[in-house]
Structure 1
Amino acid sequence: MSDAGAVDWEPDAIVRVLTGLERLLADPTLVPGERWALLTNDTAVTADLVSAKNALNGTGQLRALLAPEHGLHGTAQAGFTEQDATDSATGLPIIDVYAAESSDIANALREMRVDAVIADIQDVGTRYYTYAATVIDVMTASIQAGIPFYVLDRPNPLNGVTREGPGLEPDFASLVGRLDVPIRHGLTLGELAQHAARSAGIQLPSVIRMEGWGRSMTWADTGLPWVMPSPNLPTTDTALVYPGTALFEGTTLSEGRGTTRPFEIVGAPWLTASYAASLNALGLPGVAFREARFVPTFSKHRGEVCVGVQVHVLDPGLFEPVRTGVEMLMLAANLGEGFGWLTPPDIGLGAQHFIDKLWGASSLREAIPGARQVSDVMAPITRGNMGELLY
């Protein structure tokens, strides 16, 4: 590729998966119109690490960039954005759409007089990651404004087969859960968007599908580069444990924010050193726990020595992140008087316990005090039909 604006891109021969972005670069007629708005961030790259905004700007059709939580460049922490600005590389306006009302987004799109809205962003395969909610909100706004909506699809990094955890009860819908799908849902972002449209009875978005992706693929199988989706999700190892350990965001324990291993280490100043041994004694599949001490530089227990564990995934094929996270919660709740549940951060989630928003129901919080085994807490997945699969 000679420069960031070229559109005569050809994928490297070793790449096994061709993303929706790469297909659009090869054939810009896949999205009609002369004025496009792009919902994106720095996770949307070609196989040779050119950003979607820079690559698509070469078509001359981009008119604006829409940014999700963490901002276009991913510098903001959880619950924050980089706010409206101008992109220095393209000169395009950046519109912050995180937690925005669909009607406000629709009005902004009308004012820009765009012919199409495109979403290209890397999801992480977990219901409570907010990128899917933002895509759904922007899709809804686009339909309200009478503007076609397109998703440039990307792989689910956790694979497209395995589903784990409960669905979402309607009263608990929020930015950390828009759809009634399992916590680990096994869908691509394009499939999530189409499922959301079917559920809402609105026009289906057009999905520019991948080529070469199989549902059983791990991220390593795709041959694609990993770009950290947010400041606290640096690696694919983090993404694998996130469906379970992110539940600790709803508790008084640190989920590892403010360390170099967020979501892979969990602990608190009052937790005992027996936590790791007790977890290992459970014999959970595909995982082992190492006793760990750490001092968060920000977030919960900043500057305090925390006792806890590092989660080591030994066999990703056997590892069950949601079950593992629940087992960790159940044990932690009985190991010290410092355990408790937190209310949500001030990002429009309401006054319910944050754990209820994450779990999608109050059942986890209500069951843990008297639970003796994980089956007392985790009901079998009942969401068998989640819409038409694209792959």
Structure 2
Amino acid sequence: MRLTRRAMWKGGMALCGGALLKGRPAGAKTPDCAGDSLHSVQTGFECLRSDRYEILRGRKVGLVANPTSVGRNLHHIADIMHADAGFDLHAIFGPEHGFRGSAPAGQSEAPTRDPHTGVMVYDIYNIAGARLDSILRASGIDLMVFDIQDVGSRFYTYISTLYDTICACARLGIDYVVLDRPNPVSGQRVEGPVLDPHFASFVGRQAIPIRHGMTVCEIAGLFNECFVPSVAGRSVRLRHVAMKGWRRDLFFDQTDLPWIPPSPNMPTLQTAIAYSGTCLFEGTNMSVGRGTAMPFLYLGTPDLDAAAWRDRLEAANLPGVAFRDVAFSPSAFVDKGKMDHGVQIVITDRDRFESVRTGVTLISTLRGLLPALPWGGNSRTFDLLAGTDTLRHQLDQGIGPDAIVQSWQDGLARFGALRNKYLLYG
């Protein structure tokens, strides 16, 4: 398992037009997976296990994990690791929603001793800096392992927890191991504005775009070399365990891995594909479908002419997506118990679908259908999700989606050149 730095961050492919990496042609239809053989993929954990946990032996191991952290048999890796002799699973750390996944959005589970393993579980959701250092120091670990299924979006908070724990481990001299899992929405397309450091937050720690097109191992390498030294004073001693059998053009359902919802409102792969664009609506006063069976695929608000919105969206002729006017009543969150009118996002060709362009167009086409664009006094939240206030100002000024997308390209090209250094898969 000893890897040179060159081998760890072996070459990638260049951005095409600052947006799409080489692989499946942009216009190609996604195969019907029911009729095609699935690609056998071994996750980083399964590769680590097949090597008999060699790099963990003799260490006091901390584990950042959640319900997606499972082995091939769907048993949680904490339970598997605890049962396997030869090393010390010393502490567990829970991200947003908690280690066992019982907490809703924006919350976590209280510190407790895990009844399955007897190991202490610490809450580290949205905790960074000296406070996180104190928790890790008190836990007594000397090596941290991260194994969580991401969805490929900057504002999905698990990669912020990855970044924060890498920084803390660098400061404390704790070694770090990342176990890789697929980017479920494929690892080719890169979209959206690159984060302006003035808008760094827990939904975006560093200067990456909204849809980053990387796996957690890849982004850990980028974080560690490019950003961590300026925060922690040095990089962490980082090792990764890569997957076997994964390619950048694969969506999750083209692998033989089981889909486990990474969070309560991420029930399907379709949700994850749309999320990089539709999550921008979390920075508005509109419902994103939380409290329905279609989170991030239903968008709406009371007193909206849903058919008129649908017609405008159809006229935009966006690639790979269609729209249906809907009425829905969320059982929780925004507009709980109210009747919302809006649209359902239906992805028709995911290889052509541009999630962030679609999200921007969804907002832009509301102009004139609502008294004002739907910031609702919540513009700071929108700006943090976008990673900049420029997008909101562009929308307020009536700048069209094509011009907005074009304004991202220089930043995406620079990010693409940086990103290429850390890609592990073709």
Residue aligning to 1:3: none
Distance in structure 1 (CA, Å) of the matches to 2:224 and 2:391: 29
2:65 pairs, out of 40, 47, 51, with: 40
2:292 pairs, out of 259, 262, 272, with: 259
Task: State the Cα distance separating 1:98 from its structure 2 match.
Answer: 0.8
Residue aligning to 2:254: 221
Task: State the Cα distance separating 1:37 from its structure 2 match.
Answer: 0.7
Secondary structure of the corresponding residue to residue 166 of structure 1: coil
TM superposition score normalised by structure 1: 0.91
Residue aligning to 2:44: 20
Distance in structure 2 (CA, Å) of the matches to 1:187 and 1:162: 9
Q: Is 2:272 the partner of 1:245? A: no
Task: State the Cα distance separating 1:338 from its structure 2 match.
Answer: 6.0
Secondary structure of the corresponding residue to residue 249 of structure 2: coil
Task: State the Cα distance separating 1:321 from its structure 2 match.
Answer: 0.7
- 8 Å CA contact 1:44–1:122 kept in 2: the answer is yes
Q: Is 2:312 the partner of 1:312? A: no
One-letter identity of the residue aligned with 1:228? P
Distance in structure 2 (CA, Å) of the matches to 1:14 and 1:388: 26
From the superposition, tell whether residues 184 and 370 of structure 1 become closer, same or farther in structure 2 (CA, over 3 Å): same
Task: State the Cα distance separating 1:59 from its structure 2 match.
Answer: 2.9
- CA deviations 1:188-237 (Å, max 9, x no partner) are 01111111111233135211111111111111122111110111111101
Residue aligning to 1:321: 355
- CA deviations 1:293-316 (Å, max 9, x no partner) are 000111111111000011000111
2:141 pairs, out of 108, 114, 117, with: 114
Distance in structure 2 (CA, Å) of the matches to 1:330 and 1:340: 10
Residue aligning to 2:11: none
Task: Show the 5 A alignment for 1:1-391.
Answer: 16-27=40-51, 28-60=53-85, 61-200=88-227, 201=229, 202-273=235-306, 274-337=308-371, 339-341=373-375, 353-378=380-405, 379=407, 380=409, 381-382=412-413, 383-384=415-416, 385-386=418-419, 387-391=421-425
- 8 Å CA contact 2:203–2:385 kept in 1: the answer is yes
Distance in structure 2 (CA, Å) of the matches to 1:372 and 1:357: 20
Secondary structure of the corresponding residue to residue 118 of structure 2: coil
State the superposition RMSD in angstroms: 1.7
Secondary structure of the corresponding residue to residue 328 of structure 1: helix
Residue aligning to 1:6: none
- CA deviations 1:340-377 (Å, max 9, x no partner) are 31566xxxxxxx71111111110111011222421232
- 8 Å CA contact 1:194–1:204 kept in 2: the answer is no
Higher RCO, Cα 8 Å, sep 6+: 2
One-letter identity of the residue aligned with 1:354? T
Distance in structure 2 (CA, Å) of the matches to 1:267 and 1:142: 42
- CA deviations 1:324-349 (Å, max 9, x no partner) are 010001112431126431566xxxxx
One-letter identity of the residue aligned with 2:83? G
Secondary structure of the corresponding residue to residue 316 of structure 2: coil
- 8 Å CA contact 1:271–1:332 kept in 2: the answer is no
Secondary structure of the corresponding residue to residue 353 of structure 1: helix
What is the aligned length?
372
Distance in structure 2 (CA, Å) of the matches to 1:203 and 1:69: 23
Deviates more, 1:267-276 or 1:122-131: 267-276
- 8 Å CA contact 2:97–2:263 kept in 1: the answer is yes
From the superposition, tell whether residues 48 and 36 of structure 1 become closer, same or farther in structure 2 (CA, over 3 Å): same
Deviates more, 1:45-54 or 1:250-259: 45-54
Distance in structure 2 (CA, Å) of the matches to 1:223 and 1:94: 30
Distance in structure 2 (CA, Å) of the matches to 1:83 and 1:199: 33
Distance in structure 2 (CA, Å) of the matches to 1:332 and 1:235: 27
- 8 Å CA contact 1:15–1:222 kept in 2: the answer is yes
Gaps of 5+ in 1: 1-12, 345-351
Distance in structure 2 (CA, Å) of the matches to 1:106 and 1:197: 17
One-letter identity of the residue aligned with 1:282? A
- 8 Å CA contact 2:160–2:203 kept in 1: the answer is yes
Distance in structure 1 (CA, Å) of the matches to 2:268 and 2:278: 15
Distance in structure 1 (CA, Å) of the matches to 2:237 and 2:182: 20
- 8 Å CA contact 2:187–2:249 kept in 1: the answer is yes
Task: State the Cα distance separating 1:33 from its structure 2 match.
Answer: 2.9
TM superposition score normalised by structure 2: 0.84
Secondary structure of the corresponding residue to residue 332 of structure 1: coil
From the superposition, tell whether residues 376 and 355 of structure 1 become closer, same or farther in structure 2 (CA, over 3 Å): same
Distance in structure 1 (CA, Å) of the matches to 2:74 and 2:382: 36
Distance in structure 2 (CA, Å) of the matches to 1:15 and 1:24: 20
From the superposition, tell whether residues 390 and 224 of structure 1 become closer, same or farther in structure 2 (CA, over 3 Å): same
Secondary structure of the corresponding residue to residue 214 of structure 1: coil
